[in-house]
Amino acid sequence: MVMNIAYKLVYAPQVKKHLKAIEPKYFSLIRTKIETQLRLEPADETRNRKPLKHQSDFEGEWELRFGPENRFRVFYAIDIENHEVHILAIGVKKGSRLFIGGEEIAL
């Protein structure tokens, strides 16, 4: 039987600022999704977890989508050698616009 070793989740300091722009009622959902989706198989592509096609401003390599109307975005990078997932940004998608820390980010 193959055992998956859990990845350590490492949050970038700016993520606290990003969360301040999100309603607190969603914090539990965000924490739960990050824990369940990124701890064991962060590099497995799924319908809502994909590698980014374009380089992002915050050096994220992957995107996780979830929440009501898939509005939340978590951008992260995987350090396979150290078995870590670096959470680099958390944002909110509104229509075709992405906001991180309350600021609109060009897509």
What are the pLDDT digits (tens) for 8-44? 999 999 999 999 999 999 999 999 999 999 999 999 9
Residue 27: exposure state from Cβ atoms within 10 A (0-12, 13-18, ≥19)? exposed
* Global confidence as pTM: 0.92
Residue whose tokens read 């497995």: 44
Predicted local confidence at residue 28, as pLDDT: 97
Predicted local confidence at residue 3, as pLDDT: 62
- The C-alpha atoms of residue 65 and residue 71 are separated, in whole angstroms, by 7
More confident residue, 5 or 74: 74
Residue 87 CB partners (closer than 8 Å, separation 6+):
9, 10, 11, 12, 15, 34, 38, 74, 75, 76
Predicted local confidence at residue 82, as pLDDT: 95
Q: Give the C-alpha distances (Å, rounded to integers) separating 63 from 3, 58, 86.
A: 25, 12, 12
Q: Residue 9 belongs to what H/E stretch?
A: strand 8-11
Is 88 within 8 Å of 75 (Cβ atoms)?
Answer: yes
pLDDT classification of 60: cutoffs 50, 70, 90: confident
Does the pLDDT at position 56 exceed 70? no
pLDDT > 90: percent of the chain: 85
CATH code, residues 8-105: 3.30.2310.20
